[in-house]
Amino acid sequence: MRHGGAESVSLASVSRMEKKVLLPTYERQPILFVRGRGVYLWDSRGKRYLDFLSGIGVNALGHNHATIQATIKRQASRLIHVSNLFFHEYQAELARLLTEISGLDRAFFCNSGTEAWEGALKLARAFAQMTNHNGGNPKWRILAMHNSFHGRTFGALATTGQPKYRAPFVPLLPGVSFVKFNDLDDLQRKFDSSVCAVCIETIQGEGGIQPVNKEFLELASRLTKQNGALLVLDEIQCGLGRTGRHFAYQHYGALPDVVTVAKPLACGLPLGAILTTERVAKCMHPGMHGTTFGGGPLACAVAIEFLRAERQLLKHVRALGEYFHAALEALDKKHKSIQEVRGAGLMEAVELDSSELAKAVAKQLLQEGIIINRTHETVLRFLPPYVIQKKHVDQVIKALDAALQRNEELTRRKKKIASPRRKEVHAHA
């Protein structure tokens, strides 16, 4: 295989080579993407795709955004990395912007979602050690939610409430108990003075776009406040404008002690952040936590531009989100196979009645040049860039309508063929 740029490499040769040399962790779709612009991607054969997944919530400004591209070029030619042993121009300004929009006081920068989450768990344990509100008894239990997803490193796995992610790697971090998501009684039952943190995704993403209930979040907030524990929210997927507010918790009028963000922050460059209060930040001192790459000048310079653009787009995200949601609800009325439509802003989901149907529909849309994703087996997930227009929503709705109709007809026909045979079997029995 030659390496003369992506255009000269074929899907067949890349996929053959990957099979030999990569750990087999991904089941990739047979598409080789070579470039993107705005809401579109192009594959190696020149086919255009409407991107309604945006790199799983990363490319929130679309592909090849002019300001982002210019910022990367400018900063890459000045300074890419210095380590956290020295100052550079951008971390303080980025932290200032994030604290301003979150209502929190301090930031720590890292490279990914899972790393932000690990840091948040460490913060919870360190804060409990520093304050020791439990009369000298241990205060290190963490309450996490069933059906949650926080990442792939050990602490993140230990707090991820989906056995399929955890099982191959046990034993995990001790001290974690799972609460039924949105079950007030279960939270009340499992919470006691040995708990140092209650961990919640404000809207569960991998778990099928399941928002936390207001009462549940309020109870978590009250219990943690009263007992010197921390309310830790994971907004890695639902934060930074995705729902039409800077943070999803702002729809609830809540304020966490710690929040994690990542995905769209640096428009595709790896960057995550932990945000917290002045009170909690006091438990950290030099040497307790750190990273080589996290918060480098290139990623931070880009993130500052992202946040400037995100501010301008919130109203648009709300408007387009409402338009999209209403169109999905209209499909819900038309198609029996739709069980539920959920979501906020441009984080939307359609739950179907079988995983086969969800698989078939996602595949058909991909063939038609529309990228979405299936999560939690039966859920179609939509995380389009914030810059989509109504015409893009219309295109997706039309394709979804047709794909559902086609697959429902196929299922009906299959049932028709299958039912006389079943009668025959009964007749012979």
Interacting residue ranges for ligand PLP, rule: CB under 6 A = 56, 112-114, 117, 149-151, 201, 205-206, 234, 236-237, 262
* 294 or 327: CB nearest ligand PLP: 294
**Distances from the Cα of 379 to the Cα of 124, 349, 354, 360, angstroms:** 32, 6, 9, 12
* 113 or 297: CB nearest ligand PLP: 113
* 146 or 282: CB nearest ligand PLP: 146
* 147 or 221: CB nearest ligand PLP: 147
Minimum distance of ligand PLP from residue 197's CB (angstroms): 15
Q: How far apart are CA 413 and CA 157, in angstroms?
A: 43
For 287, phi and psi rounded to 5 degrees? 100, -15
> CB count, 10 Å around CB of 306?
26
* 26 or 87: CB nearest ligand PLP: 26
Q: What is the token pair recorded at 427?
A: 């007749």
Q: What is the token pair recorded at 31?
A: 């598409």
* 380 or 404: CB nearest ligand PLP: 380
Helix (H) or strand (E) holding 415: helix 390-428
Q: How far apart are CA 107 and CA 281, in angstroms?
A: 9
Q: Would you state the torsion angle of the CA atoms of residues 163, 168, 171, 176, taken in this order, to the nearest 10 degrees?
A: -20
* 234 or 305: CB nearest ligand PLP: 234
* 298 or 360: CB nearest ligand PLP: 298
Residue of minimal Cβ distance to ligand PLP: 113
The residue ranges of DSSP E strands in 161-223, in sequence order, are 176-179, 195-201, 203-204, 210-211
Minimum distance of ligand PLP from residue 267's CB (angstroms): 14
* 113 or 268: CB nearest ligand PLP: 113
Minimum distance of ligand PLP from residue 121's CB (angstroms): 12
Q: How far apart are CA 136 and CA 121, in angstroms?
A: 20
Minimum distance of ligand PLP from residue 98's CB (angstroms): 17
Minimum distance of ligand PLP from residue 390's CB (angstroms): 27
**Which amino acid is located at 130 in the chain?**
M
Q: What is the token pair recorded at 142?
A: 């963490």
Minimum distance of ligand PLP from residue 341's CB (angstroms): 20
User: How far is the first Cα of the chain from the last one, in angstroms, to the nearest whole number?
Assistant: 60
Q: What is the token pair recorded at 100?
A: 């301003």
Minimum distance of ligand PLP from residue 342's CB (angstroms): 15
Q: How far apart are CA 128 and CA 121, in angstroms?
A: 11
At 67 the three-state DSSP class reads helix
For 233, phi and psi rounded to 5 degrees? -105, 135
Helix (H) or strand (E) holding 74: helix 66-78
Of 309, 260, 294, 247, the residue nearest 81 (C-alpha)? 294
Minimum distance of ligand PLP from residue 163's CB (angstroms): 17
Q: Which residues contact 378 (CB under 8 A, 6 or more apart)?
A: 208, 339, 351, 352, 353, 354, 355, 357, 358
* 205 or 244: CB nearest ligand PLP: 205
Minimum distance of ligand PLP from residue 150's CB (angstroms): 5
Minimum distance of ligand PLP from residue 189's CB (angstroms): 25
HSE-up of residue 113 (Cα within 13 Å, Cβ side): 24
